[in-house]
Amino acid sequence: MSTFKAGLEDIVALRSEICFIDGQKRQLVYRGYDISELVGKATFEEVVYLLWNGQLPAAAELERFKEQLAAEAALPEQLVDFLKASPKDAEPMAVLRTAVSALGLFDPDTSVQDREANRRKAARLLAKVPVIVAYNGRLREGKDPVPPKPELGLAANFLYMLHGREPGRMDAEVFDAALILHADHELNASTFTARVVTSTLSDVYSAVTAAIGALKGPLHGGANEQVMRTLLAIGEADRVDEWLEAALERKERIMGFGHRVYKTGDPRADYLRRFSQQLGEKRGETKWYEMSRRLEQLMYEKKGLYPNVDFYSASTYYMLGIPMELFTPIFAFSRVSGWTAHILEQLDDNRLIRPRAEYVGPRDQTFVPVDQR
Ligand code: SDX
């Protein structure tokens, strides 16, 4: 047996061709393309195609892929009814987890395990998850859902469905880039969860439902919403220092900082920091960006910690007019592409994922009947 490492830190659990991370060089690479080669150049749909197929799509392939996603966007009526019946104050990640599980009941391929069927299920999930998130977002505010427009891409369509009006060019491009930045991230907790479930030859819907459950936690995808709650609680830039002093005094985890792999900073934060600043300047509301910059500076000075992907995505999404409760569901919307890429790869060369535990409990116990205990 190998030596025990808490949290499987630095343990290599499998080999993959999908995503490479270098925690020292601040590198994130999808199928050989550094994110600097993709952000601002490719669309989210092109990156998903790359994650699933190992190469960027040619123009005709991209058009067919976008048509497939548009054709798969409609939700089963029963699922819309479920969303309408869901408690208005239910956590959107809990609604999404439940809705994705329910989706599997209406998919004719749900129990079909061949690669083409799994590709179809991946496309259905990618097309439907943003619709579920946007519908839930509107319903919880007492508004009617807005069906997607087939001519819009995934990023612009989400903002259209959420706000009931098409986004401006800059908002759509920033959101599309944010989706690219969240698409995949090697063997993070939710992706590992998806691979463990897949390794038992369970189905895609079970694996993605489990992954959503893992992403929901504040140590993983749930941090972005908490970052925005922190900024709102601090309220003003001149209160950041005292707030942080007190929080660190209480030994609190500051959401949006630190990372298991990136020890010299998260390359995704560099893009999101810029988006937060650009959108803040465009809206004449730079205080959330400025407060974030001050927090970033202090966290480095006091804890030697850097912001991760969740830190600046908070103020970026807030400037896009997205409700905080939808921040993590949006992370799931993007990461469905990475999860399904890993599910497909797991099935290409599957072996049941079953690590060992080092037993440190008692031994050689003798049974004592209950009337003598
Ligand atoms: C994501 O894995 C991925 O790739 C995930 C992700 C992805 O794309 O899938 O990148 C997305 O999940 C980003 C992380 C979002 N979570 C948060 O922002 C929550 C706050 N961050 C932490 O809880 C923490 O940094 C983790 C969970 C992200 C990483 O934790 P580790 O690797 O287990 O590190 P650790 O808890 O052992 O901390 C090491 C030290 C500790 O100090 P000591 O107790 O040894 O003195 O650093 C301190 C920690 O206390 N520390 C923090 C801190 N993060 C680490 N102290 C204050 N605030 C923090 N945020």
Cα–Cα nearest to 79, from 45, 125, 35, 123: 125
User: Looking at ligand 1, which atom is closest to the CA of residue 7?
Assistant: 33
Cα gap 128→209, rounded to integer Å: 14
Q: What is the mean pLDDT of residues 314-318?
A: 98
pLDDT at residue 131 greater than cutoff 80 = yes
Q: How confident is the model at residue 2 (pLDDT cuts 50, 70, 90)?
A: confident
The per-residue pLDDT for 181 is 98
The per-residue pLDDT for 271 is 98
Cα gap 228→218, rounded to integer Å: 13
- pLDDT tens digits, one per residue of 46-104: 999 999 999 999 999 999 999 999 999 999 999 999 999 999 999 999 999 999 999 99
In this structure, the number of other CB atoms found within 10 A of the CB of residue 106 comes to 14
Q: What is the mean pLDDT of residues 207-225?
A: 96
Kindly state if the Cβ of 299 falls inside 6 Å of ligand 1: no
The per-residue pLDDT for 321 is 98
Output Rg (C-alpha) for the chain, integer angstroms. 22
- pLDDT tens digits, one per residue of 351-372: 999 999 999 999 999 999 999 9
Write down how long the chain is. Answer: 373
Nearest residue (by CA) to ligand 1, atom 2, is 188
- pLDDT tens digits, one per residue of 151-185: 999 999 999 999 999 999 999 999 999 999 999 99
Pocket test for ligand 1, best of 188, 259, 298, 339 (most atoms within 8 A of CB): 259
Quote the ligand 1 centre to 256 CA distance (angstroms): 8
User: 285 with 278: CB under 8 angstroms?
Assistant: no
Which residues are annotated as catalytic?
Answer: 259, 310
- pLDDT tens digits, one per residue of 255-289: 999 999 999 999 999 999 999 999 999 999 999 99
For the chain, give the percent of residues with pLDDT over 70. Answer: 100
Q: Which residues contact 62 (CB under 8 A, 6 or more apart)?
A: 45, 46, 49
Kindly state if the Cβ of 214 falls inside 6 Å of ligand 1: no
User: Looking at ligand 1, which atom is closest to the CA of residue 215?
Assistant: 12
Q: What is the mean pLDDT of residues 245-250?
A: 98
pLDDT at residue 13 greater than cutoff 80 = yes
The per-residue pLDDT for 204 is 98
- pLDDT tens digits, one per residue of 324-343: 999 999 999 999 999 999 99
pLDDT at residue 3 greater than cutoff 90 = no
pLDDT at residue 196 greater than cutoff 90 = yes
